[in-house]
Amino acid sequence: MGGLMALVITPLLLAVLLSYILAPPVRYLENKQRLSRSASILTIYVFLTALLLLVCLNVFPALLQELEELTDLLPVYTERSILFLESLEERWQRFEVPSSVRRAIDENIDTMQGMLAQRMEKLALFMLSVVGQIIALLLVPLFTFYFLRDGDKFKKTLLRFIPPSFRREMEQALADVNKALGGYLRGLIIVSLAVGGMLYIGLLILGVEFALFLGILNALLNIIPYFGPLIGAVPVTIIAYLQSPSLAWKAILLMIIVQQVESQLIAPRVYGRELGFHPLVVVIAVILGGVFLGFFGLIFVIPLTAVLFIFIKHFYPLVKQAIRENKDGH
């Protein structure tokens, strides 16, 4: 199942989400510039490819250099982190605490030291395993092309399997899905890029090492509602602290400022008005998505929940009415 998820299901879901993002510019080229649907899609692909090449030529070499330096420094960071935990253990020994509490703390610190060493050693291997998934992601542009080109055909085919009494409501539900998901995904990309950019510039000014890598990492993790920024804050704090404890506090203050700018100016519109979710629904959905679907569940769970809520909103009254009429008929 894991191989199927990586090779087919994940690229398929990414293609669906990407098709929602690219649909407006494709429609613009088709309606305003009088291009065919295929020519419009290919034009967008050429533009995105040129933009990606430009970014790669200017960003990718620096990012690879930072990753190489980070991999070389992992043993050093591991040793420093273990020394910090050992100093923490020595501080605990100075306090007059019950022996059972002290023993529990010592055991937890020893466990943390072992886990830290293992995690640091596996980080480089994890980065290499991520590269191995790129081959599967090459399917995404192909799937996206067919979703964009034949989306209307897929919709008409789907409607043929819907009973006539539900068909009109299905069309309205699909229209609401297009509107909600399109706005949410486009807004999310803008927010994530803004967060990554602000954090990168801020870390660069503060002098934190690997600012580019940390900015890109936080931009990617920001697509996970609520929990993404917390996860992204961990490596920033660790790297800044290993440089200087005072620098860590400055980095934490910077991340708080960046998240406040995001949460006060942009996030309420993206997560609230576009999807109409209560924050508690988002938190529960993200937790369940991570538990049952893993990392990609954290990414896909909000769009999938939005689709589910839209269909429930449209079809629950009809199903309820049909059940009531069936009971009255008997």
Given this model, what pLDDT does residue 10 score?
Answer: 74
Place of tokens 């910077």: 254
Query: Does some domain include residue 265?
Result: no
**DSSP assignment letter at 162:** S
- For the chain, how far is it from start to end, CA to CA, in angstroms? 45
Give the mean model confidence (pLDDT) for residues 29-40: 87
Query: Does some domain include residue 321?
Result: no
d(CA 7, CA 5): 6
Q: State pLDDT tens for residues 71-126.
A: 777 676 666 666 666 666 666 566 555 555 556 555 665 565 555 555 555 555 55
What one-character-per-residue DSSP string does 88-155 give?
Answer: HHHHHHHS---HHHHHHHHHHHHHHHHHHHHHHHHHHHHHHHHHHTHHHHTHHHHHHHHHHHHHHHHH
Q: State pLDDT tens for residues 145-199.
A: 998 888 888 888 888 888 887 788 888 888 888 877 777 787 788 888 888 999 9
Question: Structurally, how many domains does the chain consist of?
Answer: 1
Give the Cβ contact number of residue 282 at 10 Å: 18
Query: Does some domain include residue 137?
Result: yes
Query: Does some domain include residue 298?
Result: no
Sorting pLDDT into bands at 50, 70 and 90, what band is 273? Answer: low
Contact 70, 210 (CB under 8 A): yes
Q: Tokens representing 301?
A: 């769970």
Query: Does some domain include residue 174?
Result: no
Give the residue numbers spanning the domain of 112. 1-151
Query: Does some domain include residue 60?
Result: yes
Query: Does some domain include residue 273?
Result: no
pTM exceeds 0.75? no
Place of tokens 């954090």: 199
HSE on the CB side for 327, CA within 13 Å?
Answer: 6
Reported residue count of the chain is 330
Q: Which of 16-20, 108-112, 223-227, 275-279 has the lowest mean pLDDT?
A: 108-112
Query: Does some domain include residue 318?
Result: no
